[in-house]
């Protein structure tokens, strides 16, 4: 079983002990989840070579390996050992992310970490832990939303494995997960979740265009682009609702009046999604809008930058890396909401 000697379980536990002194048991939870992942990972080549490996698993891992090689050879994404191993976590999702926002604000609550900076969600390797955190935030008056995550990344600080959670959503999504997570390893602005997720989404989409061309799968490309267009349409409805709510919360109204107007806006959003043929299940609140906006808000602006650079991905990475260290310039391309 392959292990990264720089991040052995002993070193992870030692680091966790330091982190725990800063933020209680949360970092111990993260360290335990990372140790589990390290313990379960195996080289993909060895899993494929075993005679008892399920044929479907073997095919999916072969696809993951091809996508990883393509990311290096054709996309200029990092080659640091990530996605060369496989780990079966024995569960459906890798993590559960908790989003929160005040009752009368569409600005997310942020959590700050030593490496990732401040982000608009807090991730847990266990659903019960996430539910407990969400309940605590709800008791403090926050709107909360818990969203499961299929993929997981340490931003290249460890050799991230392909997870079983990434394998159950079709060949297109498997390749997309790998391209998206490797994009985070190429460019990452600590403290700017909207920029980071939108950048990775733009790279993912362009990567899949090239992947399908290489695989000679124009029909699959058409399906993928149609799906992304539909997802973008739903996101735009939610982004528009977020703008409406931001204006509402800025008004000098009594709390009761704001709550009534807030409920009416979410009812309007639900009707708009339903009328357009999009799913409108579950509760709608400020935190759920944060979860969607984080991944979608800056996509059009960053896609325009890639177009301006004639779809030259290395040039795009270089331009975005400059923005990582230049907040005013980054804010011009992707203004604060």
What's the pLDDT score for residue 219?
A: 85
Mean pLDDT in residue range 211-233: 87
What's the pLDDT score for residue 116?
A: 67
What is the pTM for the complete model shown? Answer: 0.85
Residue 190, beta-bridge partner list: none
Count of beta carbons in the 10 Å neighbourhood of residue 206: 19
Question: Would 22 be classed as within a structural domain?
Answer: yes
φ, ψ for residue 104 (rounded to 5)?
-120, 50
| Tokens coding 45 | 């080549």
Tell me the per-residue pLDDT of 180-190, one tens digit each, with 9 for 90 and over: 999 999 999 98
Question: Would 114 be classed as within a structural domain?
Answer: no
Question: Would 265 be classed as within a structural domain?
Answer: no
Question: Would 12 be classed as within a structural domain?
Answer: yes
What's the pLDDT score for residue 115?
A: 66
Q: Rounded distance, CA 267 to CA 261, Å?
A: 10
Contacts of 164 (CB under 8 A, 6+ apart): 86, 87, 88, 89, 90
Helices of type H across the chain? 9-23, 26-40, 44-49, 55-73, 127-139, 170-186, 193-214, 218-250, 255-275, 286-296, 299-308, 313-324, 327-333
Can you tell me whether residue 81 is helix, strand or coil?
Answer: coil
Lowest mean pLDDT among 103-112, 198-207, 289-298: 289-298
Question: Would 105 be classed as within a structural domain?
Answer: no
Question: Would 212 be classed as within a structural domain?
Answer: no
Q: Rounded distance, CA 67 to CA 59, Å?
A: 12
Tell me the per-residue pLDDT of 62-119, one tens digit each, with 9 for 90 and over: 999 999 999 999 999 998 889 999 999 999 999 999 999 999 999 999 988 776 678 8
* 82, 83, 89, 95 alpha-carbon torsion, rounded to 10°: 70
Binned at pLDDT 50, 70 and 90, residue 151 comes out as confident
- Taking the alpha carbons at both ends of the chain, their separation in whole angstroms is 46
Question: Would 19 be classed as within a structural domain?
Answer: yes
Per the structure, the complete domain to which residue 23 belongs is given by 1-40
Question: Would 9 be classed as within a structural domain?
Answer: yes
What's the pLDDT score for residue 269?
A: 96
- Cα-atom radius of gyration of the chain, to the nearest Å? 21
Q: CB–CB of 236/289 below 8 Å?
A: no
Binned at pLDDT 50, 70 and 90, residue 5 comes out as very low
Given a cut of 50, whether residue 7 has pLDDT beyond it is: no
Q: Rounded distance, CA 161 to CA 147, Å?
A: 21
Count of beta carbons in the 10 Å neighbourhood of residue 92: 11
Domain count, the chain: 1
List C-alpha distances in Å: 310 to 76, 179, 183, 315. 16, 20, 18, 9
Q: Rounded distance, CA 74 to CA 183, Å?
A: 13
């Amino acid at each position: 079983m392959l292990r990264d000697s720089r991040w052995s379980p002993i070193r992870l536990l030692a680091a966790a002990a330091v982190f725990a002194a800063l933020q209680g048991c949360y970092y111990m939870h993260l360290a335990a989840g990372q140790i589990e992942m390290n313990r379960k990972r195996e080289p993909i080549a060895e899993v494929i070579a075993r005679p008892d490996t399920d044929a479907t698993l073997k095919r999916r891992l072969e696809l993951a390996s091809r996508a990883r090689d393509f990311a290096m050879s054709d996309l200029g994404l990092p080659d640091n050992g990530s996605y060369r191993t496989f780990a079966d976590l024995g569960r459906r999702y890798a993590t559960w992310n908790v989003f929160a926002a005040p009752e009368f604000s569409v600005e997310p609550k942020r959590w700050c970490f030593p490496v990732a900076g401040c982000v608009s969600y807090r991730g847990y390797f266990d659903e019960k832990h996430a539910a407990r955190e969400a309940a605590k935030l709800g008791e403090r008056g926050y709107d909360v939303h818990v969203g499961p995550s299929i993929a997981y990344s340490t931003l290249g600080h460890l050799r991230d494995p392909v997870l079983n959670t990434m394998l159950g959503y079709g060949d297109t999504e498997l390749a997309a997960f790998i391209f998206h997570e490797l994009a985070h390893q190429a460019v990452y602005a600590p403290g700017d979740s909207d920029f980071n997720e939108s950048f990775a989404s733009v790279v993912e989409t362009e990567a899949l265009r090239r992947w399908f061309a290489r695989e000679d799968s124009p029909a699959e490309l058409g399906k993928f682009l149609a799906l992304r267009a539909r997802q973008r349409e739903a996101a735009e409805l939610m982004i528009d609702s977020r703008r409406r709510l931001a204006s509402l919360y800025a008004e000098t109204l009594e709390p009761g009046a704001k709550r009534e107007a807030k409920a009416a806006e979410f009812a309007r959003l639900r009707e708009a999604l339903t009328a357009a043929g999009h799913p409108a299940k579950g509760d709608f609140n400020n935190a759920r809008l944060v979860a969607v906006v984080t991944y979608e808000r800056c996509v059009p602006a960053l896609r325009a930058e890639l177009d301006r650079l004639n779809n030259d991905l290395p040039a795009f990475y270089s331009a975005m890396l400059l923005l990582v260290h230049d907040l005013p310039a980054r804010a011009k391309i992707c203004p604060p909401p």
